[in-house]
Amino acid sequence: MPITISQVKSNAAADYTGLVTLNNQSGGTTTAQGTDLIRPSDWNSAHTYTIGLSASEIASIFAAGSGLSSTTAAGGITFGAATSAYFEPFPLPNTNSTLSAPVNGSLYIDGPYEIPNGLGKGVLNVLVSNAAGYLNGSVLQAAVTGSVTAYQTFYDWLALYSQGAGANTTRLESVWTGCASILATWTIGVTSTSSNQIRVSNQLSLSFPSQFDSTGGQTYGTTSQSKSLSSQVSTWASTTINSFISTAAAYVSGARMDIIALSNTIAPGIYWLGHLLHSTSSTTGTGYGAMTAIQAHSRLGLLENLVNAYRRQGSSASNSSTNMQPFHGYFATTSTAPVGTINTSDIRGTTGRIYWNFQVTTA
């Protein structure tokens, strides 16, 4: 942060010209050219002095506290309100908590929520639950030989919306979108050399977010488990090989907290939370398999009244989008990811809202 000092005094006297008579050191006089002397015009020119102090050199003088934050960069020092290290829009009471089963690809909108101090970079947490997955559903038979591989990707999307301004107050506009995804590759193979001998292999590989930092960054981790076994039998029960991959399957089956990285800084204001679950799957191979991969998920949250039965004033019929709680409901059209804008007419009523919170994390 350079500081410049300028000489601003101006002397209106005329400059000397030609020969000028001056006193000398011996008490006599001497002559000199006027242009060789310091003249009034020399003081009228721009005299500046710059003290070169950078923002980082004086940053320690400006200590932030009591709800303030400061940042130091080459351009200077910026002050602002400190963001929340933790935010919980509402506590989750035990007596009114419920698991709801969202439709695959449906975008649900909860809110409005006031975030008074804004959100820094960190993570948003939501709670989900699903039945045990990656279960074999076919009786293993010595007469059947083949291999089937199932591929599945599961997406847990979150989004934050704010209300539009001016002519756009009747819609929500996306300010942030994040996703935690799980990728799975699952292979079951059966070979047989005789009518009373079976050899079966079962392998599951998973990829999922596993590490998070305070800047909203996330790193994916992996796990894999496999086992092969032979037996002198003509048939095996369908559940025989489920234990081969049960340790890996436990990473995504049952109750789970999904963590979605927030790499943006969200300013104080009123927001709506959008959430969407979406999955895709495909299989390759022939000759075997009824395979149950990761099951449909439910979300933990609050049970609420469905207010669609209350007609809007001036209407003789119930309205699926009363908007008693502005924009609270679900988007009328399914999609693979949260949409950018949501109009009032796009919302349909729902009976709950999910629990979520935000926290800064370094682990």
The 3-class secondary structure across the chain, one letter per residue, is: CCEEEEECCCCCCCCCCCEEEEECCCCCEEEEEHHHCCCHHHHHCCEEEEECCCHHHHHHHCCCCCCEEEEEECCEEEEEECCECEECCCCCCCCCEEEECCCCCCCEEEEEEEECCCECCEEEEEEEEECCCCEECCCEECCCCEEEEEEEEEEEEEEEEEECCHHHCCEEEEEEEEEEEEEEEEEEEEEEEECCEEEEEEEEEEEEEEEECCCCCEEEEEEEEEEEEEECCCEECCCCCHHHHHHHHCCCCEEEEEEEEECCCECCEEEEEEEEEEEEEEEECCCCCCEECCCCEEEEEEECCCHHHCCCCCCCCCCCCCCCCCCCEEECCCCCCCCCEEEHHHEECCCEEECEEEECCCC
* Co-location of 65 and 200 in the same domain: no
* Co-location of 72 and 144 in the same domain: no
* Co-location of 223 and 240 in the same domain: yes
* Co-location of 70 and 121 in the same domain: no
Integer Cα distance of 38 and 41 in angstroms = 8
Q: Of 58, 81, 104, at which residue does a domain stop?
A: 81
- Residue 151, classified by CB atoms within 10 Å of its CB into exposed (0-12), middle (13-18) or buried (19+), is middle
* Co-location of 67 and 197 in the same domain: no
pLDDT of residue 15: 77
pLDDT tens-digit series, residues 25-42: 787 888 888 777 777 777
Range of the domain at 26: 3-81
* Co-location of 70 and 25 in the same domain: yes
For the chain, the domain total comes to 2
Integer Cα distance of 330 and 102 in angstroms = 10
Number of other residues whose CB lies within 10 A of the CB of residue 117: 15
* Co-location of 249 and 307 in the same domain: yes
pLDDT of residue 363: 45
Number of other residues whose CB lies within 10 A of the CB of residue 255: 11
* Co-location of 134 and 55 in the same domain: no
The greatest distance separating any two alpha carbons of the chain, rounded to the nearest whole angstrom, comes to 135
pLDDT tens-digit series, residues 171-183: 999 999 999 999 9
Q: Of 29, 48, 81, at which residue does a domain stop?
A: 81
* Co-location of 122 and 61 in the same domain: no
* Co-location of 33 and 93 in the same domain: no
Using CA atoms, how far residue 37 sits from 17, 18, 30, 136, 160, in Å, is: 10, 11, 13, 103, 73
Q: Which of 20-34, 133-147, 232-246 has the lowest mean pLDDT?
A: 20-34
* Co-location of 12 and 150 in the same domain: no
* Co-location of 96 and 121 in the same domain: yes
Say what the pTM is.
0.76
pLDDT, average across residues 118-122: 92
pLDDT, average across residues 326-338: 92
**What integer best gives the mean pLDDT of the chain?**
85
Q: Is the pLDDT of residue 67 over 60?
A: no
C-alpha closest to that of 149 among 291, 296, 251: 291
Q: Which of 182-186, 273-277, 285-289 has the lowest mean pLDDT?
A: 285-289
Q: Of 36, 63, 81, at which residue does a domain stop?
A: 81
C-alpha closest to that of 53 among 74, 84, 83: 74
